[in-house]
Amino acid sequence: MRSSCAIPRVWPAVPIHGRRLFDGGMRSGTNADVAKDCGRVLVLDVIGFPETGDVQPVSAPLLTITPDEASQAGLQNLLDPGSRAICARAGHDQGQRIAAEVKAFWA
């Protein structure tokens, strides 16, 4: 019951028998592992859940984009609607900075 209430970045994962468990709907913030048969995978890990770091996505060429420091500042409380504007501005700025890297990944 406790692990079904654990939500990454809101309530911590619950350790049971050496494993960190949380709500089953949060198994992965990206579900990138379903792309295991693709030749190239771009993962937008928008929230950057630390609890899903052990989900290994794929062995194909992979580019993972996670929130930068400015975006992380807006993610302190995911339940606060006031953080949307901060995250939107920071995400736009980050996108501008990494656009060339993403373009090169797809080339």
Q: What is the mean pLDDT of residues 94-104?
A: 96
Rounded to whole angstroms, the Cα distance separating 91 from 80 reads 17
Give the model confidence (pLDDT) of 55-98 as tens digits: 565 677 888 888 899 888 877 777 788 888 888 899 999 999 99
**Dihedral sign computed on CA atoms, order 83, 88, 89, 95:** positive
**Strand ranges for 1-107 from DSSP E:** 14-16, 19-21, 41-44, 62-65
- Give the model confidence (pLDDT) of 12-67 as tens digits: 888 888 888 877 666 666 777 778 788 888 888 877 666 555 556 567 788 888 88
> Alpha-carbon distance 98 to 72, whole Å?
16
**The pLDDT of residue 92:** 94
Which candidate, 9, 27, 99, places its Cα nearest to that of 63? 99
